[in-house]
Amino acid sequence: MLILMTSISKHRQHLHKIFASILAVSLIASLVLYQPKPVEAATYTFTQTNWAGGQSTSTATHPGNQTS
């Protein structure tokens, strides 16, 4: 265990450089390779104008009271 700790403390500066390099490469790669999908219908507004034929006081249930 003591040998391992001595070895780590000798190479601490190199380990920091290696870690910083890996972090920098990962950040650059994620910025270059990330391609978000476009959002569709983000400004669409639905306005309910007619309640004819569908009004009730019961709560809608998912399987049986869907419109589409």
Instruction: List C-alpha distances in Å: 63 to 35, 42, 66, 68.
Output: 36, 27, 7, 11
Residuewise pLDDT in 10s, the chain (68 residues) = 556 667 767 778 888 899 999 999 999 999 999 888 776 766 777 777 776 776 667 765 666 555 65
Identify the pLDDT of residue 20. 94
- In sequence order, which residues have a C-beta less than 8 Å from that of residue 66 and are 6 or more positions away? 60
Residues in the chain: 68
Identify the pLDDT of residue 12. 82
Which pTM value belongs to this model?
0.43
The C-alpha R_g of the chain, in whole angstroms, comes to: 30
Identify the pLDDT of residue 27. 95
Identify the pLDDT of residue 24. 96
